[in-house]
Amino acid sequence: MRSAIKVLVVDDSALIRQMLTRALSVDPAIEVVGTARTGVEAIEKTLTLDPDVITLDIEMPELSGIEALPHIMRVSAARVIMLSAVNDSETTYQALVLGATDFIVKPAEGFATSIAELSDVLLKKIKIAYRIRPESRQLAPALKTLTVVKVNDPSITPPGHLVAIAASTGGPPALETVFSGLDSGFDAAYLVVQHLPHGFTGSLARRLARTSDLEFMVAEDGMAVGRGVAYIAPHGLHMVVSGRRTMRIALEDTPSMHGVRPAADPLFESVAGAVGAAAIGVVLTGMGTDGARGARSILDVGGMTIAQDEQTSVVWGMPGAAVRRGAAQRVVPLDSVASEIRRTLRGVKVHE
C-alpha cells in the first residue's frame, strides 16, 4: 500500500493553518506532518520532517515565502505550492521562476466560507505536485538586464511564419528558456497559450520581454499580427488568428476546452488554417491533453510540430499526448526547443 503524501503547511495565520490542516486531513492520501508560521520555521521543519509537498504562504514575518523558497529548493526534494494574495501576481510569478511547482490564489475576503472550495483545489494540486519528479523542477534562465518591457506599438509587417506555443504546469520558466533562444531576426510571429489564472498574463508578458528582443504583449481582439512580436493569450478567452495577407487576432468567449480557456487547440487549428505549411506548433510541459489535436492539424497541413521530451518536462501530459497522437514531428529536450524553431524558420531540413 502506497504511503500517504507528507505535507507541510506554512502560513503566518494560525486560523488558516488550522483550517487547511483540517481540510487536508480528511483525505486519507494526505498526511499533514507539520505546520510552520514563518519562512525560517519552514526551512527548519523541511529539514526535520522531510515533506513531499509544502504549501508556502508568501507574506510572512522574519523570512517571506519568496525568501525562504530558494533555501527550501536547495535542501529538499519537496515540491512547493505557493499561496498568493489576489493582487500579488508579480511575486507569485517570481516564485514560479524560483522553482515553485504551482500556486493558488487565496481569497482576499471570506476565507472561512470559501475554505471548502480552496481545499478541493489544493488537494488536487498536491496530488499533481507529488507526481512531479523532484529533479524536473525547473528554474528559468538568467534574465538579460538591459532590456525593457516593450510597448504595444510595433511596426506591423505581416510574418511569413506563425509559431504557436502551448504550456501549462511548469510553463513559465519553460517559456523563458525557449524565448531566450529566439530573437526578432526571423520572419515569424509567436502566439502563446499558457494556462494561468486571471491577473497573471501581464506578469508573464513582462517577464518574457526581458528574455529576448522580441515585442511581447497581451493579445487584444482585432490586433494585427506582426513580424517579431509575441502575443500572449489573455485569461478567459480563446485566441485564434484569421486572414492571410493581413492576419488579425480574434478573442473568443466560447466554451472552455479541456477545462481551460484559453486553450491551445483552437489557436493551433487557426494557425494551420492561416499559414499552412508555414505553421510551427510547440507543445511544452503541462497537465492534460491540450495542444495534441491542434498539433495534429498543423502536421496535417505540412507544418512543423515540436514537443518537449519527458525527461525535461515538469509534467509530460500535454507533450506526451501530442506524441501518442502522432502529432509531434520532433521530440526534444527543453534546451533544444528554440534551436528546433530556428532551424525550421531557416528552412533547414533534419534527417531522421
Active site (catalytic) residues: 168, 195, 290
In three-state secondary structure terms, 165 is strand
Our measurement of the distance from residue 233's CA atom to the centroid of its chain's CA atoms, rounded to an integer in Å, reads 12
Backbone angles phi, psi at 205, to 5 degrees: -60, -45
Neighbours of 141 (CB within 10 A): 16
The residues facing 103 across adjacent strands are: 82
Can you name the residues that pair with 238 across neighbouring β-strands? 252
Grid cell digits, residue 289: 491533453
Do β-strands 161-167 and 279-283 pair in parallel, antiparallel, or remain unpaired?
A: parallel
Instruction: Specify the amino acid at residue 293.
Output: R
Q: Is the peptide bond before 262 cis (omega within 30 degrees of 0)?
A: yes
All cell numbers assigned to 60:
510572512
Q: Which phi and psi angles does 285 have, rounded to 5°?
A: -50, 140
Taking a C-beta distance cutoff of 8 angstroms, is the pair 287, 320 a contact?
no
CA–CA gap between residue 254 and residue 10 (Å, rounded): 38
- For 150, phi then psi, to 5°, come to -80, 160
Q: Residues 6 or more apart from 283 whose CB is under 8 A from it? A: 166, 167, 264, 291, 292, 295, 305, 306, 307, 308, 318, 319, 322, 328
- How far apart CA 277 and CA 261 sit, in angstroms, is 26
Q: Using CA atoms, how far apart are residues 345 and 189, in angstroms rounded to an integer?
A: 11
